[in-house]
């Protein structure tokens, strides 16, 4: 904003204070890791052991699934010029929808489909409100979150008599023999189908955005909708498609979240518990690149997995509630150090082609 002109030279310079601080942090971390490798019996050593444990990667992957899907959804919406801050809400309805349908039909895959449908319907509402009725996107996104936060437990209450649903079956991990026993990376070959779906979705999203016509149009719609319009592509339609796609992707994420536990928990902030917001953080970090978003998701999820393990192993004598803040504090620090992302120029703006 206003400070940018003045700030610009500080943040963009080769050796800004932030870059320096980031470098120092990286060096310190590297030092800690080296120290850990050299002296495995120390705290640092145990830390490194946890860090390089195969199960840490496995946990990271699992925790990444809902966040990564939501982040991909957020990328499509925002790249097309519609900031979708309601990802959290989409995750919530799909988490409930997934379990409900899995419960009714007994099939996890029907559940997944229902989760996607539920999320897409809510995304459609969001799209209509933002695109048709020119709603402020941020506020409408918040509304979507609030609606879902009420609606899913409401439905659960009606159907199950409480905000938490019954238990349903979950899916088993797909283990690729041989490969799954590789140290550390073996976790990549012994994971639930949702993890593989996540990788597939990241790849497909990357391809769609970078290699297909639709991806070009999404880009143009967020950067310069008028250019797209004058090139003869219907901006409204592209934006609808992108927002609905964000619904579909969030549907995968939410359903994967609840179906890998086999229950929807709707009390409090529900089982989604801020993952949709984290997703926004990660795609901003990832600079709207699906691969970047995946990596930053894994950074966050990895920290989350790490803090759970650090608690269990009593590494670093820090009170447990404080250990839990590690991922959040890390996000703040990283954001402060490398804070700037280039957001699509027309994001947040309503676009009306020609006259009405």
Partner 1 sequence: MDRFDRRTFIKGTGIAGLVGLAGCTGGPTGGGDNESGGGEETTTAGGDTTSESGGNETGNESADGGSSGGSGSDVNVGVVYATGGLGDGSFNDQAQQGIQQAESEYGISYNEAQPDEVSQFKNFQQQFASSTDPNYDLVSCIGFLQADALSEVAPQYPDQSFQIVDSVVEADNVASYVFKEHEGSFLAGQMAGMLTTSSFSAGAGSTNEEKVVGFVGGVEGELIGKFEAGYKAGVKNVSEDIQVQSTYVGSFNEPSGGKEAALSMYNAGADIVYHAAGNTGTGVFQAAQEQGAYAIGVDRDQSVTKSSYQNVILASMVKRVDTAVFNAAEAVVQGNFEGGSVTTLGLEQNGVALVYGQGLKSDIPSDVKSEVESVRESIISGDISVPSDPSNV
Partner 2 sequence: MSTAVTLDGITKRFPGVVANDDVTLEVERGTVHALLGENGAGKTTLMNVLYGLYEPTAGQVYVDGEPREFDSPRDAIDAGVGMIHQHFMLVDPMTVAENITLGNEPRKWGGLAVDRDAAREQVRELSERYGFDVDPDADVEDVSVGVQQRVEILKALYRGADVLILDEPTAVLTPQEVEELLAVLEELTAQGKTIIFITHKLGEAMHAADDITVLRDGKNVGSVKADTTTREELAELMVGREVLMETDKPPAEPGAVSLAVDGLRATDERGVEVVSDVSFDVREGEVFGIAGVDGNGQAELIEAVTGLRQPESGTVSFGGTDVTDWSRRRRIDEGMAYIPEDRQERGLVMEFDLVDNAILGSQHTAPFARGGRIDWDATREHAERIVAEYDVRPPNADATSGSLSGGNQQKFIVGREFERDPELVVATHPTRGVDIGSTEFIHDRLLDLRNEGRAVLLVSSKLDEVQGLSDRLAVMYEGEVMDVVDPEAVTEEELGLLMAGEYPEGYGPESEAGDAGCVATDGEPNEATQPASNDGSEGGTR
Partner 3 sequence: MSSDDTPNTETDAADSDGREPGTNTGQSDAPAAIERLVRASAVERALISVSALLLSVAVGFVLILAAGRMTTCSTAATTYFGVGFCYDPVTVYDLLFLGAFGDLSSDLINGQLATTLSQTTVLMFTGVAVAVAFRAGIFNIGTQGQLVVGALGSAVATLWASTLVSGVVGTLLLLPFGLAVGAFVGGVYGAIPGALKAYADANEVITTIMLNFVATAVALYLVQDHFQDPESVATQTVPLPEYATFPSVIFRARDDFSLVAFVVAAALLVAVYLLIERTSFGYDLRTSGIQPEAAEYGGVDAARTVVASMTLSGALAGMGGAVYVLMIIGNFQTGVPAYGFDGITVSILAGNNPLGVGFAALLFGVLKSGSIVVDVGTDVPPQLVGVLRGLIILFVAMPEFFRMIGTRVWSVRPSGSGGQPVTDGGTVADSRGDVEDDVDAESGVPTEGGERDE
Interacting residues with partner 2 (CB under 8 A): 4-6, 8-9, 12-13, 207, 211-213, 216-217, 219-220, 223-224, 226-234, 345, 353-355
User: Using CB under 8 A, which of 42, 157, 167, 210 touches partner 3?
Assistant: 157
Burial class (CB in 10 A: 0-12, 13-18, 19+), 236: middle
User: Using CB under 8 A, which of 234, 236, 263, 287 touches partner 1?
Assistant: 263
What residue has token string 């932030």? 18
User: Using CB under 8 A, which of 32, 110, 135, 204 touches partner 3?
Assistant: 135
Question: CB count, 10 Å around CB of 149?
Answer: 19
Q: Which residues contact 38 (CB under 8 A, 6 or more apart)?
A: 45
- Residue 251 in tokens: 């549907």
Using CB under 8 A as the binding rule, whether residue 53 contacts partner 3 is answered as no
Least Å distance, CB 143 to partner 2, is 23
Using CB under 8 A as the binding rule, whether residue 240 contacts partner 3 is answered as no
User: Using CB under 8 A, which of 102, 127, 144, 257 touches partner 3?
Assistant: 144
Least Å distance, CB 82 to partner 3, is 11
Using CB under 8 A as the binding rule, whether residue 336 contacts partner 3 is answered as yes
User: Using CB under 8 A, which of 30, 105, 151, 308 touches partner 3?
Assistant: 151
Nearer to partner 3, 232 or 319 (CB): 319
User: Using CB under 8 A, which of 8, 31, 40, 162 touches partner 1?
Assistant: 162
Task: Give the binding range for partner 3 (CB under 8 A) out of 62-70, 131-139, 183-191, 197-205.
Answer: 131-139
User: Using CB under 8 A, which of 119, 120, 137, 156 touches partner 1?
Assistant: 156
Count, residues in the chain: 356
Using CB under 8 A as the binding rule, whether residue 124 contacts partner 1 is answered as no
Residue 220 binds: one of partner 2, partner 1, partner 3, none (C-beta under 5 to 8 A by kind): partner 2
Alpha helices in the chain (DSSP H): 3-12, 17-38, 43-51, 54-79, 87-105, 108-127, 137-160, 193-211, 213-223, 225-230, 235-259, 275-285, 290-313, 320-323, 326-337
Using CB under 8 A as the binding rule, whether residue 282 contacts partner 1 is answered as no
Least Å distance, CB 199 to partner 1, is 19
User: Using CB under 8 A, which of 75, 147, 198, 228 touches partner 3?
Assistant: 147
d(CA 355, CA 47): 62
Interface with partner 3 in residues 178-237 (CB under 8 A): 225-226
d(CA 109, CA 90): 18
Axis crossing angle, helix 275-285 with helix 54-79, rounded to the nearest 10? 80
Using CB under 8 A as the binding rule, whether residue 42 contacts partner 3 is answered as no
Nearer to partner 1, 12 or 314 (CB): 314
Using CB under 8 A as the binding rule, whether residue 279 contacts partner 3 is answered as no
Half-sphere exposure of 61 (CA within 13 A, CB side): 22
Nearer to partner 3, 120 or 224 (CB): 224
Phi-psi region of 91 (alpha: psi -120 to 50; beta: other; left: phi over 0): alpha
Q: Which residues contact 184 (CB under 8 A, 6 or more apart)?
A: 52, 53, 54, 57
């Amino acid at each position: 904003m206003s400070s940018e002109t003045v700030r610009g030279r500080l943040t963009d310079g080769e050796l800004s204070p932030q870059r320096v601080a980031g470098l120092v942090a990286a060096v310190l971390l590297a030092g800690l890791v080296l120290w850990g490798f050299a002296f495995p019996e120390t705290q640092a050593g145990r830390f490194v052991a946890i860090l390089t444990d195969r199960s840490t990667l496995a946990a990271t992957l699992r925790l990444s699934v809902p966040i990564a899907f939501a982040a991909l959804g957020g990328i499509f919406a925002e790249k097309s010029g519609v900031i979708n801050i309601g990802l959290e809400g989409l995750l919530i309805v799909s988490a409930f929808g997934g379990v409900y349908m899995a419960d009714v039909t007994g099939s996890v895959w029907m559940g997944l489909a229902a989760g996607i449908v539920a999320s897409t319907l809510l995304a459609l509402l969001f799209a209509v409100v933002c695109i048709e009725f020119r709603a402020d996107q941020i506020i409408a996104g918040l509304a979507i979150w609030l609606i879902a936060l009420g609606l899913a437990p409401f439905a659960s209450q009606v159907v199950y008599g409480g905000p938490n649903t019954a238990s349903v079956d979950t899916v088993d991990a797909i283990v690729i023999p041989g490969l799954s026993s590789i140290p550390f990376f073996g976790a990549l070959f012994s994971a639930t189908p949702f993890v593989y779906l996540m990788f597939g979705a990241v790849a497909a999203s990357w391809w769609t955005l970078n290699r297909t016509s639709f991806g070009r149009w999404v880009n143009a719609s967020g950067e310069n909708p008028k250019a797209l319009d004058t090139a003869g592509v219907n901006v409204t339609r592209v934006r609808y498609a992108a927002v609905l796609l964000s619904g579909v992707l969030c549907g995968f994420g939410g359903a994967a979240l609840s179906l890998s536990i086999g229950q929807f928990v709707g009390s409090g902030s529900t089982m989604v518990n801020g993952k949709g917001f984290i997703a926004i953080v990660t795609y901003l970090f990832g600079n709207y690149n699906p691969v970047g978003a995946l990596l930053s998701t894994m950074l966050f999820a990895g920290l989350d997995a790490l803090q759970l393990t650090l608690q269990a192993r009593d590494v670093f004598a820090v009170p447990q509630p404080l250990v839990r803040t590690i991922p959040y504090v890390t996000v703040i620090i990283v954001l402060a150090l490398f804070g700037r992302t280039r957001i699509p120029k027309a994001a947040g703006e309503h676009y009306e082609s020609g006259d009405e």
